Amino acid sequence: MYSFKNDYSEGAHPQILSALMETNLEQENGYGEDRFSQEAIEQLKQRLGRTDLDIHLLTGGTQTNLIAISAFLRPHEAAIAANTGHIATHETGAIEAVGHKVVTIETADGKLTAQHIHTVLEAHTDEHMVKPKLVYISNSTEIGSIYKKQELEQLREVCDKNHLILFMDGARLGSALCSYENDLELSDLPSLVDAFYIGGTKNGALIGEALVIGKESLKEDFRYHMKQKGALLAKGRLLGIQFLELFRSNLFFELAAHANTMADIMRKGISEADIPFLIHSPSNQLFPILPNDLITELQKDYAFLIWEKIDSDHSAIRLVTSWATKEEAVLAFVQDVKRTVVKPVAQHLKNV
């Protein structure tokens, strides 16, 4: 059984494990004030080309979203998100649990546009309803699409005009930046969004996200929020060491590029079998539409998620490749799909 269920099934890149072992008995300060964390933060600032950024290392995406959004918003303020957004669908109501409504809007590709923001603002006009204040986006999105530079510039403009905070979930930022369609640099982000994070958990680290705050008004007392919500780790060195290794060279980008390359091979092979996709996703997540009997057959040897029912005979599945995905497993999966498909799925769906 080989898993294409997610990009965190494996542990961590050997280089990171080696660094953790080599430094294991060194005594260091706690709560992120160790030399490893401080060096990692300075290294990230150099990569981002800004010295005025506040960077905090946290353990996971849901924790980072929860602490950041609850810290940035006042009690009556709300977040705007795509209906597929992680904070709206896969965080057990974490944002609502701390008192902030998530206003969702239907999107075709998982991405928000300036028009989406205007639509929400026009529907929330006075103090009898929540006040939209933060725009939540993710790159790549929960359905594998990515933001282009112009799209972020347009969001930046509408947020500035309406005094909104633009926050980017970067759990899969590595995959987005290494996509064949991407036109963004990591160093572009501090000027395009008010805060974002660089995901390590899904890109070679055991755990870890690096939250970057550029907007001055969002920086104050952030470590208080971290401590109050259990995110200020006594052994913060564990996070610092990992980000130091990820960005000491280009390991972060090399691992993300590998995940995307594996997805590219899978995408090409599946397309050759005339199998359509639920959505265009130029990252490490793919959503092919397969006959249910083929899905059942593939589940004997592979693990993946059944994402959406299409009709009585077909469903969309989610395939995710990772920094550690083996090429031979990808090729075997493609071969099994091609061998089992009897008639073109795309043509069948056109006729339904």
Q: Among residues 318, 330, 331, which one has the least CA distance to residue 277?
A: 318
Question: Residue 350 pLDDT > 70, yes or no?
Answer: no
Long-range contacts of residues 182-189, Cβ cutoff 8 Å, at least 24 apart: 182/146, 182/148, 182/282, 183/148, 183/149, 184/147, 184/148, 184/149, 184/152, 186/47, 186/48, 187/47, 187/48, 187/49, 187/50, 188/149, 188/152, 189/48
pLDDT of amino acid 351 = 54
Q: Is the peptide bond before 187 cis (omega within 30 degrees of 0)?
A: no
Token digits of residue 141: 């999105």
The segment(s) of the chain belonging to CATH 3.40.640.10 are: 14-249
pLDDT of amino acid 340 = 82
pLDDT of amino acid 181 = 98
Question: Residue 342 pLDDT > 70, yes or no?
Answer: no
Rounded to the nearest integer, the mean pLDDT of the chain is: 96
pLDDT of amino acid 341 = 73
The 10s digit of each residue's pLDDT in 73-125 is 999 999 999 999 999 999 999 999 999 999 999 999 999 999 999 999 999 99
DSSP letter for 219, please: T
The CATH label, of 3.10.129.10, 3.40.190.10, 3.90.1150.10, 3.30.1360.30, for the domain at 252-351 is 3.90.1150.10
Taking the C-alpha atoms of residue 109 and residue 234, their distance in angstroms, rounded to an integer, is 40
Which of 191-195, 218-222, 256-260, 337-341 shows the lowest per-residue confidence on average (mean pLDDT)? 337-341
Q: Among residues 145, 182, 172, 78, which one has the least CA distance to residue 286?
A: 145
Taking the C-alpha atoms of residue 282 and residue 124, their distance in angstroms, rounded to an integer, is 34
Q: What is the mean pLDDT of residues 3-9?
A: 97
**Distance in angstroms between the alpha carbons of the first and the last residue of the chain:** 33
Distances (CA, A) of 148 to 165, 262, 345: 19, 22, 31
| Fold of the domain built from segment(s) 14-249 | Aspartate Aminotransferase; domain 2 (3.40.640)
Q: Phi then psi for 143, rounded to 5 degrees?
A: -120, 25
pLDDT of amino acid 344 = 62
pTM of the model: 0.95
3-state secondary structure of 282: coil
The segment(s) of the chain belonging to CATH 3.90.1150.10 are: 252-351
pLDDT of amino acid 211 = 98
- Please state whether 345 falls in left (phi above 0), alpha (psi between -120 and 50) or beta: alpha
Question: Residue 241 pLDDT > 80, yes or no?
Answer: yes
Question: Residue 346 pLDDT > 60, yes or no?
Answer: no
Query: What share of the chain has pLDDT > 90, as a percent?
Result: 96
